[in-house]
Amino acid sequence: MRLHRLKVTAFGPFAEPQEIDFDALSGAGIFLLHGPTGAGKTSVLDAVCYALYGSVPGPRQAPGTSLRSDHAPAGTPTEVTLELTAGGRRLEITRRPEQDRPKKRGTGTTKDKAQSWLREYDGQQWLALSRSHQEIGEEIEQLLGMSREQFCQVVLLPQGEFAKFLRADEVARGRLLGRLFDTRRFAAVETLLAERRRAAEAKVRAGDERVLGIAQRIAQAAGDSADLRAWPLPGHQPGDPGLAEAIRAWAAVARCAAREQRDVAEYALAAVEGRHAAARRAAEETRELDRLQRRHAETARRAALLAEAEPERERVRELLDRARRGALVAPALELRGAATAAHLSAAHAESAARAQLPPALAEAGTEQLAAVEQRLREDLGALGAAQRAEQRSAEIGRERATLEREARDAEEQLRESADWLARWETIRTGLVERVDAAQQAATLAEQLAGRLEPARMHLNASRRRDELDAAAERAEGELLSLREESTAARERWLELKEARLRGIAAELAQALVAGEACTVCGSAEHPAPARPSPGHVDRAAEDAAHARYEEAEERRTAVERTLAAVQEARTEAAAAAGEATTEELLALTSDLSSRHAAAHATAAGLHEARERLARAEREHAARSSERLDAERRAAARASRREALDQEQASLEAELALVRGDAPTVAARARTLEDRVRMVTGAAAALRRAETTAARLKEADDQLADAAFRAGFDTVEAAADAVLPDYERSALQHRLDAWQAEEAMLADRRGERDTAAAAALPPADPDTAEAHAERAAARLRTAGSVFDAARARCGELDRLSRQAEQELRALGPLREAYDRVARLAGLTAGTSADNERKMRLEAYVLAARLEQVAAAATVRLLRMSGGRYTLVHSDARGSGRGRSGLGLHVVDAWTGSERDTATLSGGETFFASLALALGLADVVTDEAGGMRLDTLFIDEGFGSLDDQALDEVLDVLDSLRERDRSVGIVSHVADLRTRVQAQLEIVKQRGGSVVRHRTAAITG
């Protein structure tokens, strides 16, 4: 893979379109990417990664982080275009992330979705291949042969991570190697076997639980019929191989005991059934004899009661006879009662009506009352025209009052309009002056706003300059302290290291074992091993001192970077603030702000002043028009009022003759209406009384005739004989009951068995029934015992068969569990057969790590002058640690092998760079031999001296043998004189820009 050209627009710190020509930079083999902190050096690498994979490296892909430049104009889209050669194909990838853009219509923004384009150059023109994110991602990953994580680790070479890799434990190394070398299939095998082991174990345990559950149910079903000393549960648990045989043996014992109890219960039940049948027959015979004897006694008692009731039967017969004859007279009695009630009501109404009549009509007949009613109705009809005249007079009064009210309102409105029109010129002059003042204030506000914004920017920059001055002073003090602390820590570490070297013989002597060869001289005899001297410094003390020194160096470096960033930011702030002090800028800004606020407040009333002037002009025109209309309406009201006065005077003269002594015509009409209703009611009551008197006389005659025909001497006797229907029905029911009782007693006297039973001694059914109940209780007890024994035998047989089925099914499951458990333990490194306790994935990664160490050693030997060699170690860690991913460095000067964590800062950079390059070679081979013609190395050169830097650059320069180009990302100033091709990132206020430069190589 070779990069040719990169173009970014509105991406990260780059606001304007920037283009990087990698072909020009790659001509020298090594090129330098440098610039101040925050300029965007890492953003160049982010853009390359984003173009290829649609996302930036993991640590910088934080949630909520936007790829868009804050300096870019709103209408400029964020876009990255990368041209490269991969797999022999010239490709161009263009990507746009999801971003907001201004709406084409209206205000606000809308969101554009992410877009991607892939094109290929066929030698003559560019051909479009795809616009699908997924298709482009699959195509690029297939051509490069590596995922995004592998690309970021192999092509971008993050030195800091490889330094951590050298010092990391085996777990951290496993995570990194697992991301680079796709060992997920081996981890999946481990996971699959572990899951299968857990599943098989769960099936075996579930089978054991089911068998134990059945055994518990067998124990519950067996009860006290089995020997609990053979119960298998106390001595066996799930997973016990002897559980099956114990349950089989114990179930057989339980079944035999249950069958014996069932046979005994069956014999006892047969004997009890015979005794119960005899007792039940005796009880039934005794009950029948008792029933017949009681029936005979009951018959005699009821016959005596019937004989005593004979006089009452005769009386009831007589009452029923008189009631049947009285029923013939009942309709006439009801008719006479209704006629009497109607006549009494009519007579009462007549008396009340005559009481309301005048004394002259108190004794008048129907003809006289009819004549009076006719005369009154004629007088009432004559009042109709007078009522209409009176209503018209009232309407005239209301209309005249309305005219008076309208005249008063119009006069008041006319007076108000006249006053307002008199003040019109003064009002108009004041409003025009307000409009002019607001227009002048708006002009002034615009002028002050143009001066206020630059003043505020200068003030903010001045405040920032003051803050950075204080921050720089604090950082300088802290840096001085940390330099002293680092120097002291380094001197202490060197002292301890020198002391340890002086006593290294005693330290080596502690590792001597009798009979084994010495690692220094090779002798198997150790006649006088060295002993530690007082105050001996061991390796732990030296490592602790070295760690404190490195920690102090890291803090010092961090503060130096912070101080450089603060000084750079202070220079920018001072340039933006100018020569004025913060107090001067604050006073100027406050004055401009107050003047601008006052002018803006005055100008804000311009629209309102114009509106008020327009409203006043419209009101002047309306009031002038209303004054003319009011004068015309006043003249019309005066004419109408005179006509109404004349009409009302004529009507009142006519009404005075018609009203009489009544206040109004309506009152006179109500009086006449009341008299008509009184006379009409009295005449109707008189006619109703005469009609009801005639009906009453006719009803008396019909009643007397009906009583005579029914056989009664008087009407009163006939009325006394009449009974209600419910009384007659009750008497008839009593008579029918006596007749039915008499017939029943006659039937019972003809029963022979009842008479024969009465001649025998009295029966005792309670005693016989008690004897039968005791026999039935004994039968139920025996039956329950037999049923329980039979059910117990059936349940034990069923549970035994179920247990046997479960035990047979459990055998293959246990064999499968043993097989998969052995495999899972072997791949997980927990089995005793796995001597080094290595997991399957760790075993594969150990082989990859061995290849990486071998590839890295080739370059490490050259960087270190043949001193250091990286070797892979599969030795087990201390304690319970596992083996497989150890990494050691062999020092050719001392012949010792030690952990990579003991390397110094510069040595760590050598090792990490060699490891990164070696890893790139191995991952390339893993990806099918894909050529990686462009590499980037990010930082780490600051820890090297001149000689070491030359050696590293020689190694990097040797990469050109494979036609590779290496980009170095670094702050080290010395590299600018050693590397000819350079890409400088320049940080500016409006966004960073890139510049291609060529440095002169100095000797």
Specify the higher pLDDT residue, 597 or 666: 597
Is residue 416's pLDDT more than 70? yes
Is residue 7's pLDDT more than 90? yes
Tokens 């209408």 -> residue: 75
Range among 252-256, 387-391, 839-843, 922-926 with highest mean pLDDT value: 252-256
pLDDT confidence of residue 117? 92
Query: Which residue type sits at 967?
Result: G
Among residues 176, 155, 166, the alpha carbon closest in space to that of 912 is found at 166
Query: Which residue type sits at 293?
Result: Q
Is residue 80's pLDDT more than 90? yes
Position 569 confidence tier, pLDDT thresholds 50, 70, 90: confident
Query: Which residue type sits at 44?
Result: V
Specify the higher pLDDT residue, 299 or 241: 299
DSSP letter, residue 580: S
Is residue 279's pLDDT more than 60? yes
Among residues 687, 689, 682, the alpha carbon closest in space to that of 369 is found at 682
Q: Give residues with Cβ within 8 angstroms of 393, minimum separation 6.
A: 648, 651, 652, 655
How far apart CA 95 and CA 114 sit, in angstroms, is 8
pLDDT confidence of residue 54? 87
Specify the higher pLDDT residue, 504 or 877: 504
pLDDT confidence of residue 236? 54
Give the CA distances from residue 877 to residues 321, 885, 891, in Å, rounded to whole numbers and listed in that order: 129, 10, 21
Which of 405-409, 787-791, 960-964 shows the lowest per-residue confidence on average (mean pLDDT)? Answer: 960-964
Specify the higher pLDDT residue, 374 or 150: 374
pLDDT confidence of residue 94? 94
| Cα torsion through 577, 582, 588, 589, rounded to 10 | 80
Give the rounded percent of residues in the chain with a pLDDT score beyond 70: 80
How far apart CA 471 and CA 574 sit, in angstroms, is 14
Q: What is the mean pLDDT of residues 860-877?
A: 74
- Determine contact, residues 856/882, Cβ cutoff 8 Å: no
In tens, the pLDDT along 814-829 reads 777 778 777 777 777 6
Position 725 confidence tier, pLDDT thresholds 50, 70, 90: confident
Q: What is the mean pLDDT of residues 377-400?
A: 70
Q: What is the mean pLDDT of residues 172-192?
A: 70
In tens, the pLDDT along 728-740 reads 788 778 778 888 8
Which of 173-177, 239-243, 363-367, 991-995 shows the lowest per-residue confidence on average (mean pLDDT)? Answer: 239-243
In tens, the pLDDT along 103-112 reads 877 777 888 8
Position 660 confidence tier, pLDDT thresholds 50, 70, 90: low
pLDDT confidence of residue 230? 55
pLDDT confidence of residue 9? 92
Position 83 confidence tier, pLDDT thresholds 50, 70, 90: very high
* 234 SS3 class: helix
Q: Give residues with Cβ within 8 angstroms of 662, minimum separation 6.
A: 668, 671
Q: Are strands 868-873 and 886-891 parallel, antiparallel or unpaired?
A: antiparallel
**Strand stretches in 827-875, DSSP E:** 868-873
In tens, the pLDDT along 750-767 reads 777 777 777 778 878 788
**Strand stretches in 27-185, DSSP E:** 30-34, 79-86, 89-96, 99-102, 109-112, 115-121, 126-130
Is residue 876's pLDDT more than 70? no
Q: Give residues with Cβ within 8 angstroms of 353, minimum separation 6.
A: 678, 681, 682, 684, 685, 686
First to last CA, the chain: 34
> 230-236: long-range contacts (C-beta < 8 A, 24 or more apart)?
none
In tens, the pLDDT along 344-360 reads 887 787 777 777 777 77
* 936 SS3 class: strand
Position 79 confidence tier, pLDDT thresholds 50, 70, 90: very high
Query: Quick one: CA dihedral 949, 950, 954, 957, positive or negative?
Result: positive
pLDDT confidence of residue 531? 72
In tens, the pLDDT along 686-721 reads 778 778 888 778 877 777 777 777 777 777 777 777
Range among 473-482, 628-637, 955-964 with highest mean pLDDT value: 473-482
Query: Quick one: CA dihedral 24, 26, 29, 31, positive or negative?
Result: positive
Among residues 368, 346, 344, 347, the alpha carbon closest in space to that of 358 is found at 368
Q: What is the mean pLDDT of the chain?
A: 76
Q: What is the mean pLDDT of residues 787-815?
A: 78
Is residue 144's pLDDT more than 60? yes
Q: What is the mean pLDDT of residues 207-229?
A: 71
Phi, psi of 982 (to 5 degrees): -135, 145
Distance of CA 390 to the CA centre of its chain: 80
Is residue 1002's pLDDT more than 50? no
Is residue 886's pLDDT more than 50? yes
Give the CA distances from residue 263 to residues 250, 253, 783, 791, in Å, rounded to whole numbers and listed in that order: 21, 16, 12, 13
Is residue 879's pLDDT more than 50? no
DSSP letter, residue 99: E
